[in-house]
Amino acid sequence: MKPIKRVALVAHDNRKKDLAEWTRWNAEKLCRHELICTGTTGKLIDRVLNEEIAEGAVRRPAKPITLLKSGPLGGDQQLGAMIAEGKVDVLIFFWDPMQPQPHDVDVKALLRIAVVYNTALACNRSSADFIISSPLIEETYSPNGRDFTDYLEREI
């Protein structure tokens, strides 16, 4: 991973306010990285960052937010594909464990693929704080654990 990370930000409806507050608090660091968001979360994050930019609190990111489809419309699957292709370094996913989701299988698949590909993953504010405050967020980093040779060569 390069020093500029590709950070995916996702939140379920009941957690969007939480992610917006976290984004505002970490806007300066987040604007140094490439951001990827699912639909409505991306619009919210863009609005929060533009407010911080207008107030002079942060500089405009070098690259605009990559907006995917809304989660229930396939955004979770798009993001999972990006992770599998090595196009996401960090996943910040404020999911709501108390609310049933109509696309729950997609949510589980996204979390699974992030673990399979050893992607840095935060599912709540405290784990997101640990990731964003780690010195590794702005350094070159080489994660381990992406060799699937044994799995692919197994006998069926």
Q: In the beta sheet, which residues pair with residue 34?
A: 6
3-state secondary structure (DSSP) of residue 10:
strand
Q: Which of 10, 35, 33, 31 is nearest to 20 (CA)?
A: 10
Active site residue 89: no
- The residue annotated as part of the active site, out of 13, 18, 76, 150, is 76
> How far is the CA of 156 from the CAs of 121, 150, 151, 152, 153, in angstroms?
32, 12, 10, 10, 9
Supply the residues annotated as catalytic. 76
